[in-house]
Chains A and B, each alone.
Chain A
């Protein structure tokens, strides 16, 4: 049996309300909704890393393949699946591929993972999808697009939902797009795109799947779908003969905004959170056609969630105080500190330390130190250390809130963190609320975009208070 073994979600903590966006542009809005906003140190890659790390840390064995999906990857050229795999400390032999092009690329990566395993090439595969899609200020998309990531492990063992089948429909249809020359996503939002694009293609793929499996609409427990415009998902459910109230899973767009490649996977995760063993579940995503998969939950379904369930991410939020802050976090003004160039020589030499988060453990006294060193800082024994991956969990030993150092915003908290199992790091603290940075506070390490230098992005670990 091949299917989903683990799944995780990551939604950035920050939210921007649609009423605040409307107010900034002098419009009235009765829409109480909000969108999830990546912090200035996050992008589609780091969001996916967060979700991927959560999944991988719950797996007994590393996956044989890692597939990364995004339409808003921070690089046009650079394979980010390989970078995600390195941050997750996966072996060099891991098969890595990037998926993109449209929001359905996340689900397509899941379909590809299933095929890779069934082909016998690998036994397990991690799919990580992340998106942080920029909308033009004052455009319709501004209150629609939200930032988030999801990761799924597809495997032969410990399957919580078997992948029973998949169907695909493909034909050019212009709904959402971003040209290579534009930093912003455009869209023909509205009725026509919904009926003649989204509902038509999604229904065609799903109906083909149901027909192949010999299932009736009433057999389906839940439909988890990508739905950039929530109303279209309700229309889709009706067209399929499903009861939107009972059979339509949580709509991610309504909760945090349309999350691109991660959206369908987040919706599927939310459905699996509540699913019972033996249920039929559909997942589908749109983009110049549609893909759909059919799953059947197993007795293990309650054990699939790695990290926090979908409901947690809806509650664990912090509202951006102003639209100006939102624009700043979106990188609409030049604001980052000028960063140093990191040559590929330095990157290569320190990759294990800086990206894989490896430290040195003294084989004589057990002291773990970071950065890596040849001589033990405790017993001074030389040449007797071994390389170890450090834990991401730690506690703040001491800290400061710095208002002096150049940064996007102040204060910038800096903390000395003692990690579980050893190792002391000195890091920037991110995703904090007032009062959350203090001596003794538990933190988790998170991989973030630190600064830009030489026309490149530099990523490194930061700490975030556990919440």
Chain B
């Protein structure tokens, strides 16, 4: 599939506590921005994919939320839901649809309206007895504690990730939490699920993002600075890793396998990546992701962070957008938002947070926790 699909337009709403916006308005804002960016008419869209964890209040467990919001009818629309990898997986499906030759131009939208819901946005699904008492931070904290116990690192290293991502997010006008924070503030915040304090956790956010993909040989019709899809990967591992006696809790096999697939398809190695948008739902997750994506060896991410190598000025900027930590994390929207960031970075449209000389960017989601991972590699035409 390498170089067969191009991204010709992206859109993204403001992320945040969007109390005045509806689910449908978010979809419209993101999609129409992408239409304008690609300079195409909505009627040119042949198929669409909606990445959403929880559909809008008017839509059921289907793709109608997207069709109704955009009045995009009589076309194939599929809803993709795959935990926190929902957005990137929706994008991946759109790319496969184009690469198969079935469609020429496909719309992808990721949208989530968590703030309209009780229980911090995420209703609990799952077994009424087994794993009762789990929370999203609590599940990732299991891995963080085992990792920190094994590699002897402290909460101060995690805090440095938050400080860096808030620094980047403060320079991103569409980010949810646009303020810089200090390491001391991170360490003194109330504990949410040990070892995570408030600032180790991404916020609960509303937002939507969109991307339009088309067959690569048509891309020039829409713009000169189109971006090519180099590789995609998706891997599903144990949905309840906490019952898997073989799981070492030091990283996520789903990310390792999804990354392997994507690198292989793209024909590149991890060192060829110029910047990455990785799934920093919690500070520790960013460390693990860096290792699972092959940027450094297991247990070494902490040193990279301490040495500042992942800052905008470093040799591998991670989450120049501010990441989930600062930009926010509307579940299904996040992955498409990462695609938006990668495209904007590769096109040199990111202003203060621009990564210099970026030719290859990587987007990564992981959810479950660790059960599902999706990796997308984007690059400029060579």
Taking a contact as CB atoms closer than 8 A, the residue among A378, A405, A416 that contacts B133 in the complex is A405
What residue in chain A is nearest B150 (Cβ atoms)? A439
Using an 8 Å CB-CB cutoff, how does the interface string of B116-158 with A read, 1 for contact, 0 for none?
0000100000001111111101100111111001000000000
Quick one: which of A420-453 are within 8 Å of B by CB?
Answer: 422-428, 439, 450-451, 453
Taking a contact as CB atoms closer than 8 A, the residue among A368, A416, A425 that contacts B249 in the complex is A416
User: Which of chain A's residues have a CB closer than 8 A to the CB of B190?
Assistant: 403
Known interface pairs A341-B128, A354-B129, A407-B133. Does A414 touch B138 (Cβ–Cβ under 8 Å)?
Answer: yes
What residue in chain A is nearest B119 (Cβ atoms)? A406
Taking a contact as CB atoms closer than 8 A, the residue among A339, A368, A369, A399 that contacts B128 in the complex is A339
Taking a contact as CB atoms closer than 8 A, the residue among A341, A405, A439 that contacts B135 in the complex is A405
Stretch at the interface among B48-56, B240-248, B328-336: B240-248
Q: CB of B193 within 8 A of chain A?
A: yes
**Contact at A346–B193, with CB atoms within 8 Å?**
no
Q: CB of A176 within 8 A of chain B?
A: no
User: In the complex, A405 Cα to B145 Cα: how many Å?
Assistant: 18
**Contact at A424–B242, with CB atoms within 8 Å?**
yes
What residue in chain B is nearest A340 (Cβ atoms)? B128
Q: CB of A397 within 8 A of chain B?
A: yes
**Contact at B129–A460, with CB atoms within 8 Å?**
yes
Q: CB of A94 within 8 A of chain B?
A: no
Shortest CB–CB separation between residue B59 and chain A, in angstroms? 24
Shortest CB–CB separation between residue A451 and chain B, in angstroms? 7
Q: CB of A377 within 8 A of chain B?
A: yes
Q: CB of B268 within 8 A of chain A?
A: no
Taking a contact as CB atoms closer than 8 A, the residue among B133, B138, B245 that contacts A369 in the complex is B245
Taking a contact as CB atoms closer than 8 A, the residue among A404, A418, A427, A458 that contacts B193 in the complex is A404
**Contact at A354–B130, with CB atoms within 8 Å?**
yes
Shortest CB–CB separation between residue B306 and chain A, in angstroms? 23
Q: CB of B194 within 8 A of chain A?
A: yes
User: Which of chain B's residues have a CB closer than 8 A to the CB of A401?
Assistant: 191, 193-194
Shortest CB–CB separation between residue B235 and chain A, in angstroms? 16
**Contact at A402–B193, with CB atoms within 8 Å?**
yes
User: Which of chain B's residues have a CB closer than 8 A to the CB of A354?
Assistant: 129-130
**Contact at B249–A397, with CB atoms within 8 Å?**
yes
User: Which of chain A's residues have a CB closer than 8 A to the CB of B181?
Assistant: none
**Contact at A451–B249, with CB atoms within 8 Å?**
no
User: In the complex, A103 Cα to B144 Cα: how many Å?
Assistant: 50
Q: CB of B69 within 8 A of chain A?
A: no
Shortest CB–CB separation between residue A378 and chain B, in angstroms? 6
**Contact at B135–A411, with CB atoms within 8 Å?**
no
**Contact at B194–A342, with CB atoms within 8 Å?**
no
Q: CB of B96 within 8 A of chain A?
A: no
**Contact at A400–B149, with CB atoms within 8 Å?**
no
**Contact at B135–A402, with CB atoms within 8 Å?**
yes
**Contact at B243–A405, with CB atoms within 8 Å?**
no
Interface bin, chain A: 35 or more
User: Which of chain B's residues have a CB closer than 8 A to the CB of A397?
Assistant: 146, 249
User: Which of chain B's residues have a CB closer than 8 A to the CB of A220?
Assistant: none
**Contact at B244–A377, with CB atoms within 8 Å?**
yes
User: Which of chain B's residues have a CB closer than 8 A to the CB of A439?
Assistant: 145-146, 149
What residue in chain A is nearest B238 (Cβ atoms)? A377
**Contact at A402–B240, with CB atoms within 8 Å?**
no
Using an 8 Å CB-CB cutoff, how does the interface string of A313-331 with B read, 1 for contact, 0 for none?
0000000000000000000
**Contact at B134–A426, with CB atoms within 8 Å?**
yes
User: Which of chain A's residues have a CB closer than 8 A to the CB of B145?
Assistant: 398-400, 439
Shortest CB–CB separation between residue A33 and chain B, in angstroms? 35
**Contact at A399–B244, with CB atoms within 8 Å?**
no
**Contact at B137–A451, with CB atoms within 8 Å?**
no
Q: CB of B192 within 8 A of chain A?
A: yes
Shortest CB–CB separation between residue A346 and chain B, in angstroms? 7
Number of residues in B with C-beta < 8 Å to the partner?
A: 32
**Contact at A404–B146, with CB atoms within 8 Å?**
no
What residue in chain A is nearest B143 (Cβ atoms)? A398
User: Which of chain A's residues have a CB closer than 8 A to the CB of B129?
Assistant: 342, 354, 450, 458, 460
User: In the complex, A377 Cα to B244 Cα: how many Å?
Assistant: 7
Using an 8 Å CB-CB cutoff, how does the interface string of A336-348 with B read, 1 for contact, 0 for none?
0001111000100
**Contact at A402–B142, with CB atoms within 8 Å?**
no
User: In the complex, A378 Cα to B244 Cα: how many Å?
Assistant: 9
User: In the complex, A428 Cα to B134 Cα: how many Å?
Assistant: 9
Shortest CB–CB separation between residue B111 and chain A, in angstroms? 25
Known interface pairs A401-B191, A404-B138. Does A425 touch B133 (Cβ–Cβ under 8 Å)?
Answer: no
**Contact at A412–B137, with CB atoms within 8 Å?**
no
Q: CB of A177 within 8 A of chain B?
A: no
**Contact at A428–B245, with CB atoms within 8 Å?**
no
**Contact at B128–A426, with CB atoms within 8 Å?**
no
**Contact at B130–A367, with CB atoms within 8 Å?**
no
- Among A370, A426, A439, A458, chain B packs the most CB atoms within 10 A around the CB of A426
Using an 8 Å CB-CB cutoff, how does the interface string of B172-199 with A read, 1 for contact, 0 for none?
0000000000000000001111110000
User: Which of chain B's residues have a CB closer than 8 A to the CB of A423?
Assistant: 245
User: Which of chain B's residues have a CB closer than 8 A to the CB of A342?
Assistant: 128-129
User: Which of chain B's residues have a CB closer than 8 A to the CB of A418?
Assistant: 245
Taking a contact as CB atoms closer than 8 A, the residue among B128, B130, B133, B246 that contacts A377 in the complex is B246
User: In the complex, A400 Cα to B193 Cα: how many Å?
Assistant: 6
What residue in chain A is nearest B149 (Cβ atoms)? A439
Q: CB of A101 within 8 A of chain B?
A: no
**Contact at A371–B130, with CB atoms within 8 Å?**
yes
User: Which of chain B's residues have a CB closer than 8 A to the CB of A378?
Assistant: 245-246
User: In the complex, A405 Cα to B136 Cα: how many Å?
Assistant: 9
What residue in chain B is nearest A428 (Cβ atoms)? B133
User: In the complex, A397 Cα to B147 Cα: how many Å?
Assistant: 11
- Among B141, B192, B193, chain A packs the most CB atoms within 10 A around the CB of B193
Shortest CB–CB separation between residue B9 and chain A, in angstroms? 38
Using an 8 Å CB-CB cutoff, how does the interface string of A58-83 with B read, 1 for contact, 0 for none?
00000000000000000000000000
Shortest CB–CB separation between residue A340 and chain B, in angstroms? 4
- Among A398, A423, A425, A427, chain B packs the most CB atoms within 10 A around the CB of A398
Shortest CB–CB separation between residue B191 and chain A, in angstroms? 5
User: Which of chain A's residues have a CB closer than 8 A to the CB of B149?
Assistant: 398, 439
Shortest CB–CB separation between residue A83 and chain B, in angstroms? 15
User: Which of chain A's residues have a CB closer than 8 A to the CB of B192?
Assistant: 402-404
A-B contact pairs, 20 of them (CB 8 A): A342-B128, A342-B129, A346-B128, A354-B129, A354-B130, A377-B245, A397-B249, A398-B142, A398-B249, A400-B145, A405-B134, A405-B138, A411-B191, A412-B133, A414-B138, A418-B245, A423-B245, A425-B243, A426-B242, A460-B130
User: Which of B's residues lie within 8 Å of A, judged by CB?
Assistant: 120, 128-135, 137-138, 141-146, 149, 190-195, 238, 240, 242-246, 249
10 smallest CB-CB distances across A and B, nearest first, come from: A426-B242, A400-B141, A340-B128, A398-B146, A401-B194, A402-B138, A424-B245, A405-B135, A460-B129, A402-B193
User: Which of A's residues lie within 8 Å of B, judged by CB?
Assistant: 339-342, 346, 354, 367-371, 377-378, 397-405, 407, 411-412, 414, 416, 418, 422-428, 439, 450-451, 453, 458, 460
- Inter-chain pairs besides A342-B128, A378-B245, A404-B137, 11 sampled, C-beta below 8 Å: A371-B243, A398-B149, A400-B138, A400-B193, A402-B141, A402-B192, A404-B193, A411-B191, A414-B138, A426-B242, A458-B129
